[in-house]
Amino acid sequence: MKKVKFLVVALSVTSLLGFFSCTNNSKPAAEVKKIPAFDISTMDKSIKPCEDFDSYVNGNWKKNNPIPGTENSWGSFNILDKETREVKIKGIVNDLLAQNSLAKGSEAQQITDYYRSYMDTSIIEKRGISPITPLLDKILAIKDISELIALSGELDQLGFSGPFTVGVGPDDRNSTMNAVFMGQGGLSLGDRNYYENKDSSMVKIRAEFVKHVDFMFSLAEWKVTDPGKTILDFETSLALIQLKNFEMRDPVKMYNKIASSELHLLAPEINWEGYYKNYGLKTDTVIVHDKNYVKNLNQLLKSTPTEVLKCYYRWHLLSAYANVLPYAFYSESFHFYGTIMYGVKKQRPRAERAIITVNNRLGMPLGKLFAAKYFPESSKKKVSDMIENVRAAYRDRIEKLSWMSAPTKEKAKEKLAAFSWKIGYPDTWKDYSTIDIQADKLVENSMQISLWEHRDMLARVGKPVDKKEWGMSPQTINAYNNPTNNEIVFPAAILQPPFFNPDADDAINYGGIIAVIGHEITHGFDDQGAKYDGTGNLRNWWTPADSTNFAALGKKMENYFAAIEVTKGFKIDGKLTLGENIADLGGLTLGYYALEKSMEGKKRPEPIDGFTPEQRFFLGWAQVWRENMTNESLISQVQTDPHTPARWRINAPLLLMKEFNEAFGCKGATADSMRIVIW
């Protein structure tokens, strides 16, 4: 629960809560073995590549790699994440556990004692919910809404999220300075869609949610009548006044800077003074995502009985800490948030969950040790060279675009020339030594980390942005584009096969890491990123005619993806996924032309396993995105996530590309009218 506002556009679905992991059967390899660039036994050649490229390339792989019971999906990202976690991270933790008398406040002490506190089930069971009782008592003692809002300022310091969230991050219109933001929050089911969609699967989830809340209340021995229905009713009212997820993709609409004093006019029922005082925050201005939401929230809180709101806050507190409370709470929470919502059948063993939790909560202290051990400096040079090649390919593409006029092309090239990159891990590490971690205080440890994060966030208010900061730990299998910094970032852990394989032929790497780099660069020029200039400020640099052309191309993409049904009753949300789809098409195009450029004037590489370099480029892309997924997760992804599900990240953009159709001789298979060229 990170409160610092990082406007980060990630490559892939960010990992789910620490409910799921996999059992560890893998052992560290005795020696480094070469990983094949592409294994043709994964293919199903009975399928026609032009009809279903995912099944053609990954058909046998999918058959032979069912989703483990402890997972909601299984693909390249999951496998690499599992290996990184269970071999490298576990190895680091095990080495530290073998050491004696570690200095208090050192990364080693914090990691090992947090791990021990997670593993010591006898203490966890003995303490019950007593570690959160003082906070619960404070909620119970509340007399009116004013007191409740003031108390929520204290709860929010612990990473708790009520109906509104307050965070600090770069000011989109003055990106070198930090600003305070206020947005919506506080939904147990995460997204408005889960409250209003009438599909039977969603009706079932809501019914199960009611049962889940009731059961959690009974485990805590709280005597409240129908808490589940009370919470669902309140959260449904809350959800219906919130922005839809695709609406939050418009950074111009989301930017409403007001004087802090104006909050009192928008929402007089909310005790802002009390909230800010307990939250520890002083600010003259705040950037509100949606003023109407603040107004409507005022009405909703005014018309809701205090007892209902107290019930709601108790529920959120209990649910937020369920993972670190006695087993019965974790197990029930897993049943709902793992099995019901994502189709995960089996719980992960406790030791696996301990590693995941330590990795999630102490990601940077652990990442410091990870980077020192596992990231060769030579990789930095290799990847930075690749980034510069893609930058050059992008420049060529911009010059050739037929839909964009010369003045906008100049501005686009300026922005392109200005972006920076980060590779591997941060140059400097923050001081985490004040986080007080104790081997027998699991809940308090979680709170201490949240408090450290909170203080770290408050220290930014009114200060310049630290442009060197990272928004992901080095051991994360992902990448991101940060538009307010005009930068792309590649953590150490993604620079491994199948994304980047030093032993592979170029074509496979161009379809893997190079297309991924192209994807991240293109985010600076997708429907959202294109609204920011080269200095990371939200400022229009487009001529009106070019802006209209770009929007029309986006509309074509939106309609194309919105027609795809991924499972019965659920289609891709063309608006929500637009930025990612533009980035995939852009990344593929850039990767492809960077490969062509790299072969210019050289002897053409011989086909490998009968595939030309162009064909292998697309095999490389499909290998990266191969994935099996539970139906529940698929439904969740299309309703809440800006990324198109993996199968259609392969099949959908390729059919738009004449380069793909040519490589596999699909001429006539797709109409020219389907082709879309944006970048």
- Rounded least distance, CB 369 to Zn ion, Å: 28
Residues binding Zn ion: number (CB under 5 A): 3
Distance in angstroms (rounded) separating the CA atoms of residues 679 and 675: 12
Q: Which of residues 254 and 516 has its CB atom nearest to Zn ion in the complex?
A: 516
Cα–Cα distances in angstroms (integers) from residue 306 to residues 53, 185, 302, 303, 600, in the given order: 56, 19, 9, 9, 71
Query: Can you point out the beta strands (E) in 261-339?
Result: 285-288
275-291 burial code (b ≥16 CB/10 A, e <16)? bbebbebeeeebbbbbe
Please count the residues of the chain.
679
Q: Assess whether 584 carries a catalytic annotation.
A: yes
What is the distance, to the nearest Å, from the Cα of residue 609 to the centroid of all Cα atoms in its chain? 36
- Answer yes or no: are the C-beta atoms of 506 and 598 closer than 8 Å: yes
Q: DSSP assignment of 619-675, as one string?
A: HHHHHHH-EEE-HHHHHHHHHH-SSPPHHHHHHHHHHT-HHHHHHTT-TTTS-GGG-
Q: Which of residues 107 and 580 has its CB atom nearest to Zn ion in the complex?
A: 580
- Rounded least distance, CB 409 to Zn ion, Å: 24
Amino acid at 514: I
- Rounded least distance, CB 649 to Zn ion, Å: 10
Which of these ranges, 230-238, 296-304, 434-442, 581-589, lies near Zn ion under the rule CB under 5 A? Answer: 581-589
- Rounded least distance, CB 580 to Zn ion, Å: 5
Which of these ranges, 249-257, 434-442, 574-582, 611-619, lies near Zn ion under the rule CB under 5 A? Answer: 574-582
Query: Can you point out the beta strands (E) in 64-161?
Result: 73-75
CB atoms within 10 A of CB 177: 13
Q: Which of residues 71 and 526 has its CB atom nearest to Zn ion in the complex?
A: 526
Q: Which of residues 329 and 394 has its CB atom nearest to Zn ion in the complex?
A: 394
CB atoms within 10 A of CB 476: 24
Q: Which of residues 506 and 580 has its CB atom nearest to Zn ion in the complex?
A: 580
Distance in angstroms (rounded) separating the CA atoms of residues 491 and 475: 7
- Rounded least distance, CB 11 to Zn ion, Å: 5
- Rounded least distance, CB 246 to Zn ion, Å: 15
Q: Which of residues 457 and 583 has its CB atom nearest to Zn ion in the complex?
A: 583
Which of these ranges, 7-15, 34-42, 124-132, 487-495, lies near Zn ion under the rule CB under 5 A? Answer: 7-15
By CB under 5 A, is residue 583 in contact with Zn ion?
Answer: yes
- Rounded least distance, CB 460 to Zn ion, Å: 26
Q: Assess whether 453 carries a catalytic annotation.
A: no
Map tokens 């294994």 to a residue: 39
- Rounded least distance, CB 183 to Zn ion, Å: 21
- Rounded least distance, CB 522 to Zn ion, Å: 8
Q: Which of residues 300 and 517 has its CB atom nearest to Zn ion in the complex?
A: 517
Q: Which of residues 129 and 521 has its CB atom nearest to Zn ion in the complex?
A: 521
Tell me which of 584, 614, 627, 632 is the catalytic residue.
Answer: 584
Distance in angstroms (rounded) separating the CA atoms of residues 360 and 2: 11
Q: Which of residues 288 and 583 has its CB atom nearest to Zn ion in the complex?
A: 583
By CB under 5 A, is residue 582 in contact with Zn ion?
Answer: no
Q: Which of residues 386 and 583 has its CB atom nearest to Zn ion in the complex?
A: 583
Which string of x and - marks every residue 528-567 that binds Zn ion (by CB under 5 A)?
----------------------------------------
Among the listed residues 380, 433, 411, 644, the one whose alpha carbon sits nearest the alpha carbon of residue 525 = 411
Tell me which of 505, 520, 558, 614 is the catalytic residue.
Answer: 520
- Rounded least distance, CB 6 to Zn ion, Å: 14
Instruction: Output Rg (C-alpha) for the chain, integer angstroms.
Output: 25
Which of these ranges, 11-19, 184-192, 199-207, 322-330, lies near Zn ion under the rule CB under 5 A? Answer: 11-19
Q: DSSP assignment of 204-219, as one string?
A: HHHHHHHHHHHHHHHH
- Three-class SS of residue 166? strand
CB atoms within 10 A of CB 342: 23
- Backbone phi, then psi, for 395, in 5-degree steps? -60, -45
- Three-class SS of residue 176? strand
Amino acid at 360: N
HEC sequence for 559-585: HHHHCCEEECCEECCCCCCHHHHHHHH
- Residues facing residue 181 across a β-bridge: 167, 287
- Answer yes or no: are the C-beta atoms of 11 and 478 closer than 8 Å: yes
Which residues of the shown chain bind Zn ion in the complex (CB under 5 A)? Answer: 11, 580, 583
Catalytic residues: 520, 584
